[in-house]
């Protein structure tokens, strides 16, 4: 699904604990979206760790979103 969204021009954020698997998934999505302006980004953290989840919106706040989208 993430690759399909990126292939239609979406910016997608993927979460995972295993950095190698996450990097692979991000690379696949980025490749799928490359021709149409889609992009993929990693958020490597464990959602069960409260400290880690307190900062999940930070990367998105520092990037431009497309018109009509919200973080």
| Residue 29 near residue 12, CB atoms below 8 Å | yes
SS3 call for 50: helix
Q: pTM for the complete prediction?
A: 0.71
E strand intervals along the chain: 11-16, 39-44
Quick check: 64 pLDDT over 80?
no
| 3-state secondary structure (DSSP) of residue 55 | coil
Domain count, the chain: 1
The encoded tokens of residue 66 equal: 């497309």
Is 33 part of a structural domain of the chain?
Answer: yes
Domain encompassing residue 33: 2-61
CB 39 within 8 A of CB 33: yes
3-state secondary structure of 39: strand
Within a domain: residue 14?
Answer: yes
Instruction: Tell whether 24 is covered by a domain.
Output: yes
Structure tokens at 39: 């992009």
List pLDDT tens digits, range 26-63.
Answer: 999 999 999 999 999 998 988 888 777 776 666 555 55
């Amino acid at each position: 699904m993430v690759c399909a969204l990126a292939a239609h021009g979406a910016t997608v954020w993927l979460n995972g604990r295993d950095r190698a698997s996450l990097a692979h998934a991000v690379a696949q999505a980025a490749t799928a979206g490359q021709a149409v302006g889609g992009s993929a980004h990693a958020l490597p953290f464990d959602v069960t760790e409260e400290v880690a989840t307190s900062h999940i919106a930070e990367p998105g706040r520092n990037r431009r979103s497309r018109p009509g989208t919200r973080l």
